[in-house]
Amino acid sequence: MSDATEANGTTGAAERAGAGAGERHVRVVLVDDHRMFRTGVQAEIGQTAQTGVEVVGEAADVDQAVTVITATRPEVVLLDVHLPGGGGVEVLRRCAALLSAAEAPVRFLALSVSDAAEDVIGVIRGGARGYVTKTITGTDLIDSIFRVQEGDAVFSPRLAGFVLDAFASTDAPPVDEDLDRLTQREREVLRLIARGYAYKEIAKQLFISVKTVESHVSAVLRKLQLSNRHELTRWATARRLV
Amino acid sequence: MPEAASLPLDDPRPPRKLYRSSDGRWLGGVARGLAGHLGLPVVWVRLAFVGLFMADGLGALLYAAFWFFVPLGVGGVGDQRPQSLVGTETSPDGRRRLVARKPDKGQIVALLLMVIVSMVFVGSVNLTGGAKAYLLPAVLVAAGVALVWRQADNARRARWVEVGSRRRTLTLLRAGVGVLLVTAGVSAIFVMQGSAAHLGAVLQAALAVLVGITLLAGPYLVRMTQDLSEERLMRIRAQERAEVAAHVHDSVLHTLTLIQRNADNAGEVRRLARAQERDLRTWLYKPEGTGKDEADEPDTVAEAVRRNAAEVEDKHGVPIEVVVVGDCPLDERTAAQMQAAREAMVNAAKYGGEGGAVQVYAEVEGKTVFVSVRDRGPGFDLDSIPADRMGVRESIIGRMERNGGTARLRAVPDGGTEVELEMERAERTS
Predicted confidence band of residue A99 (pLDDT cuts 50, 70, 90): confident
- Chain B residues in contact with A203 by the CB 8 A cut-off are none
Whether the pLDDT of residue B9 is over 50: the answer is: no
B241 Cα to chain A: minimum distance (Å): 20
CB contact (8 A) between residue A158 and residue B285: no
Lowest mean pLDDT among A115-119, B145-149, B263-267: B145-149
Cα Rg of chain A, angstroms: 18
Q: Indicate the pLDDT class of residue B215, thresholds 50, 70 and 90.
A: confident
Candidates A116, A135, A157; nearest CB to B285: A116
Q: Which residues contact A40 (CB under 8 A, 6 or more apart)?
A: none
Task: Give yes or no for a contact between A77 and A57, defined as CB atoms under 8 angstroms apart.
Answer: no
Distance of CA B173 to CAs A23, B153, B182, Å? 90, 15, 14
Q: Which residue of A has its CA nearest to B280?
A: A114
pTM of model > 0.80: no
The domain locations on chain A are 13-167, 177-237
Q: Do A161 and B323 lie within an 8 Å CB cutoff?
A: yes
Query: Is A205 in Cβ contact with B413 (below 8 Å)?
Result: yes
CATH classification code of A13-167? 3.40.50.2300
Q: Which residues of A touch B323 (CB under 8 A)?
A: 157-158, 160-161, 194-195
CA atoms within 13 A on the CB side of B366: 4
The alpha-carbon gap from A22 to the nearest alpha carbon of chain B, in Å, equals 26
Chain segment A4-47, per-residue pLDDT in tens: 433 343 344 444 444 444 567 889 999 988 888 888 888 888 77
Please report the sign of the dihedral spanned by the C-alpha atoms of residue A91, residue A93, residue A99, residue A101.
Answer: negative
B283 has a chain A CB within 8 A of its CB: no
Phi/psi of residue B407, each to 5°? -130, 140
Contact B359 A195 (CB under 8 A): yes
pLDDT at A240 over 80: no
Q: Is A188 on the interface with B (CB under 8 A)?
A: no
Residue B88 reports pLDDT greater than 70: no
Cβ of A161 and B324 within 8 Å?
A: yes
Averaged over B135-159, what is the pLDDT?
A: 64
Q: State yes or no: pLDDT of B137 exceeds 80.
A: no
- Please tell me what DSSP assigns to residue B203: H
Chain A nearest-CA distance from B358, in A, is 9
Angle between helices A157-168 and A210-226 (to 10 degrees): 50
Sheet containing B406-411: order of strands: B320-325, B358-365, B368-374, B417-424, B406-411
Determine contact: A1 vs chain B, CB below 8 A.
no
Backbone angles phi, psi at B328, to 5 degrees: -160, 160
What is the amino acid identity at position A222?
R
Distance of CA A158 to the CA centre of its chain: 12
Task: Give the total residue count for chain A.
Answer: 242
What's the pLDDT score for residue A29? 92
Q: What are the backbone angles phi and psi of residue B369, rounded to the nearest 5°?
A: -115, 125
Q: Is the ipTM of this complex over 0.90?
A: no
Higher pLDDT: B196 or B19? It is B19
- d(CA A227, CA A125) in angstroms, rounded, equals 10
Question: A169 — contact with chain B (CB < 8 Å)?
Answer: yes
Q: Which domains, from first to last, does chain B contain?
A: 300-424 (3.30.565.10)
The CATH fold assigned to A177-237 is Arc Repressor Mutant, subunit A (1.10.10)
Judged by CB atoms closer than 8 Å, whether chains meet at A161 and B361 is answered as yes
Residue of A nearest to B418 (CA): A195
* From B284, B365, B414, residue closest to A168, measured CB to CB: B365
Smallest CA–CA distance, residue A138 to chain B, in Å, is: 13
- Which of B313, B323, B360, B414 is the best residue to mutate to test the A interface, defined by the most A CB atoms within 10 Å of its own CB? B323
Choose the weakest-confidence range: A84-88, A112-116, B70-74, B365-369.
B70-74
Which residue does chain B place closest to A199, by CA atoms? B414
Query: Quick check: B361 contacting A, CB < 8 Å?
Result: yes
Mean per-residue pLDDT, B360-368: 86
Nearest by CB: A158 against B287, B323, B365: B323
Q: Which residues of B touch A205 (CB under 8 A)?
A: 413
**What letter represents residue A63's amino acid?**
D
Nearest-Cα distance to chain B for A31, in Å, is 22
Residue B365 sits at the chain A interface (C-beta within 8 Å)? yes
Contact between chains at B323 and A116 (C-beta distance less than 8 A): no
Q: Does A207 touch chain B (CB under 8 A)?
A: no
